[in-house]
Each structure stands twice: as C-alpha cells, then as structure tokens.
Amino acid sequence: MLELWIFINAVIALPALILEAVLGYPSWLHKRIPHPVVWAGACITAFERWWNKPTYSFATRRLLGCIAVLVLMGLAISFGWGVRWAQDVASVNDSAQIGALLAVVLVATVGLAQRSLFEHVRNVLTALRADDLQAARARVSLIVGRDTQRLDASGVSAAALESLAESFNDGIVAPAFWLVLGGLPGLFVYKVLNTADSLIGHKEERWRAFGWAAARADDVVNLVPARIAGALLVCAGLRGLRVMLKDASKHASPNAGWPEAAMAGALGVRLGGATTYDGVLHERPVFGTGPVPGVSDLGRGLRIYVTACGLLWIIVAAALVSSFFFLER
C-alpha cells in the first residue's frame, strides 16, 4: 500500500533531517569511518580506471559506463534493503524496535548535507566579514570547482551563493525526496548517481562516453526535486518566482538552473556569468538582473537557505501526517 510505504519512509526522513541538521557528520567520525560518499567515489573511480580506457571504442566505453551505473545502483539498493532487513530482524520487542528505528534514522542522515553545507558557506562568510579575502578564497574553493585565486569579495560571494543554491537541491531536497519516495534504497541510489555525475558525468573527451549514463541518470532523478528546491527558495525569500521561471532554462543542465535562478531572484542579485575553470574561461548564463552580490547578500542567502530547509521539514511532516490519516480511514 502506497500510503503505508510513504508513512514508513516519512517516519525515517523527518527525524533524519532534524538530526542531521543538529549533528551533521562529525569530523572525528569521518577520520575513523570515511563518509559513505567517499566509498561511492572510490568505487566509481575504480570503474573509471578499469573500464574507461582510451583504446576502447566510444560505443564500448558508453556501454561499460551504463554497466557501471547499473552495478552502482544495485549495490546501493542492496545496502538500503540490507539495513531495512536488519531493522526488521532487530525489532523483536517494542524497545528493540525503537532502537532499530533510531539506527535506521542515523544511517539515513549520511545521505543529507544540511549542516555541512551551512558550515562551509558560513565559514566563507566569516572570512569575508573579517576582510580576510585569502581565507575566503581558500574556503570557497572547497565547495566550488572554478578557479578562486583571483576572485574579489563579490566573486567569492557569488560562487558561494551559486554552490549553496545548487547544493540545496543535490545535498538536501533531492535526497529527502527520494528517501520519502523510495526509502533507504531510493536515498542511496540517488547519492551514488549524484556522486557519479560529479566525478565522471562531464562533457570533456575523457568522460563523454563513459560518463554519459551517469549524467543522464542524474538529470532524471533531479528533474522533480530541482523544481521543488527552486520553489522552496522562492517561498523562503518571499520573491524570485518570475526570475526562476524566466531564467532557469538558460542553464545547460535541465535542473541546476532552477535553484540558482530562484536564489538570484530571491536576493534580487545577478548570479552566473563568465568564470574560469582550470585557467579556461567559460561563458555561463546569467540569472537575475540585479547587481552582483556582496557580502551582505551572502548572509541573506544563508538565512534563506535555513528557512528553505525548515519549509522542507514541514513538507515531509505533512507527508507523514497525511499518509497516517489515509491509513486510518
């Protein structure tokens, strides 16, 4: 029954969102047990090293890339169902059932990134407010792929805001969406696909064939969440709908433009535009028609992000309550 499935998943998702916002993935734990995304990244890198050989034809590399994605999805589904099976086995009485549920909630938190994203962007903001541009450049380089060595305060603010908006979808809304819709298997499938896209889903010659499946799969699984993320940012900022609807389609990605355009509209600033990656200038679409963002806009963007996370909690809570009432009918 769909209502029961949504109810069970929402029971996991809501406390997972709250707990992750409070605890995150502590650095002391990461030193002892690397974040599961690191494991996924290691698997993807291994597949790329084994199968993406330049001596293979384009078609062969694309086929092997498809197989790699299917294997990763299978591993993610198996892990998700394995955790749920362990929960069922452990639930021998009421006390054990509560403990098993808490364990599953803790496992689910590793697929979310509210706290880590907030802390990364806040660290950039702190450096900018202290007029330490060098530190701000170094800190923003941890969350963006562009060259940061020559960015001024406005450029650092814009880079942080763009990463904040896009990662709001990739790290929070989309994982929560697939957790509610697909349970732990859905959450982990999303994480491996998103990680694969970030590592190999590029258009450069080396990855164009092998990473094709990862890029297309990531486009599909983000199709709905990205629009939800954009809508949440608009609601949190109390404006920006017109900019989002007008500019979102400018992005080369069918999804990334939605939260970025929403953030630009919500703040009344201009995001995007030309920037350099590995010393090469890339012309990018511009979102919004306002001035370039400043340090104060980064602070406002962080507040919008926190509000949007709260709105997401409300949506998940609504899914929990509505599915419960459907079950009671």
DSSP string, 205-216: TTTTTTTHHHHH
Per-residue pLDDT, averaged over 7-30, amounts to 89
1 pLDDT higher than 80: no
Q: What is the DSSP secondary-structure string of 312-327?
A: HHHHHHHHHHHHHHHH
Cα separations (Å) of 151 from 125, 133, 140, 158?
14, 9, 10, 10
Residue that wins the pLDDT comparison between 105 and 30: 105
Number of domains in the chain: 1
- Return the pLDDT at 260: 97
281 — phi, psi (to 5°)?
Answer: -75, 130
Please name which of 79, 98, 68, 16 lies closest in space to residue 200, comparing C-alpha atoms: 68
Cα torsion 285, 289, 292, 293 to 10°: value is -100
Specify the pLDDT at position 81.
92
Q: How confident is the model over 25-35, as a mean pLDDT?
A: 71
Q: At residue 30, does pLDDT exceed 90?
A: no
- Across 135-160, b (16+ Cβ under 10 Å) vs e yields ebbebbbebbebbbeebebbbbbbbb
pLDDT at 146 over 80: yes
Residue 199 has what pLDDT? 92
Is the pLDDT assigned to residue 164 strictly greater than 80?
yes
Spell out the residues 6+ positions from residue 263 whose beta carbon is closer than 8 angstroms to its own.
161, 162, 164, 165, 233, 237, 240, 271, 287, 301, 304
Confidence of residue 92 (pLDDT cuts 50, 70, 90): low
Over the chain, what is the mean pLDDT? 92
Out of 65-74, 194-203, 274-283, least confident range: 274-283
What pLDDT does residue 97 have? 80
Q: What is the pLDDT of residue 91?
A: 67
Placement of tokens 């630009």 in the chain: 264
Q: Which is higher by pLDDT, 275 or 307?
A: 307
Q: Is the pLDDT of residue 270 over 70?
A: yes
Average pLDDT over residues 285-298: 95
Indicate if the pLDDT at residue 31 is higher than 70. no
List, in sequence order, every residue forming a beta bridge with 287; answer none if it has no partner: 271
**Span 261-281, average pLDDT:** 90
| Section 280-291 average pLDDT | 89
> What pLDDT score does 33 carry?
67
Residue written as token pair 């029961």? 4
- Structural domain boundaries, residue 289: 2-328
pLDDT at 94 over 70: no
35-39, 121-125, 162-166, 281-285: least confident range? 35-39
